[in-house]
Amino acid sequence: MKHIDFYLDFISPYAYLAFEHLPQALEGLSYSVDYRPVLLGAMIRHHGQLGPAEIPAKRTWTYRHVLWLGHAHGIPIDMPATHPYSPLAHLRLALAASGAPTINRYLAETIFREVWRGGAEAADPARLAALQARLASAQPLAMAPGDAAVKAQLKANTDEAIARGVFGVPAFVVDGQLFWGFDSLPALRACLQGDPWFDGPGWRAADQRPSALPATRPA
């Protein structure tokens, strides 16, 4: 059985879509999954990038694209009333409820659907309080979301992801191999099935060539 580390941030519509579609995309395969919350914004800053929503034209395309993907794959999705928003409260709540570096599928599903279904304000304090109460009613939270240990765990998860080469979400790591994005799910499936292509030059040596660009671009 293969194991997948699934790095996610609730702010990402692509992570939501990948989460919802994963069982169908990998249907019939034997695998296990650890869902690992990370702070996408910290990864973007680490790599010196702008987020898609920070580039006006890309923001427009991204929102249209994710709504199309939901429509095309039969996944219910509504844009939150405000986006982007700060996902820290949702990330910390997930880790506080779990008390571990990973969260289970129920926790991930509950929070993803809270953000990406219904079109309400994701960061509304009343909704966040109601979400926390709902999770606590199913099982008491292992820690308080504001605990230093929770904040440290989120940072540790994010640092771990960066160390493994993760630069965005959703990201999937299998046997040290990284797959990124909703559209990587077919490749992830092929890898889990043992497709020998992943041992060949198309995968192993694709980046083994010099770049003609300067190491750092002029300001």
Domain ranges for the chain: 2-204
Nearest to 180 by CA among 167, 193, 189, 197: 167
Model confidence pLDDT, tens digit, residues 14-41: 999 999 999 999 999 999 999 999 999 9
Instruction: Find the angle CA(151)-CA(154)-CA(159) to the nearest 5 degrees.
Output: 125
Residue count of the chain? 219
Q: Check pLDDT > 50 for residue 90.
A: yes
217 — pLDDT class (breaks 50, 70, 90): low
Q: Could you tell me the CATH superfamily of domain 2-204?
A: Glutaredoxin (3.40.30.10)
Strand, helix or coil for residue 133: helix
Predicted confidence (pLDDT) per residue in 152-181, tens digit: 999 999 999 999 999 999 999 999 999 999
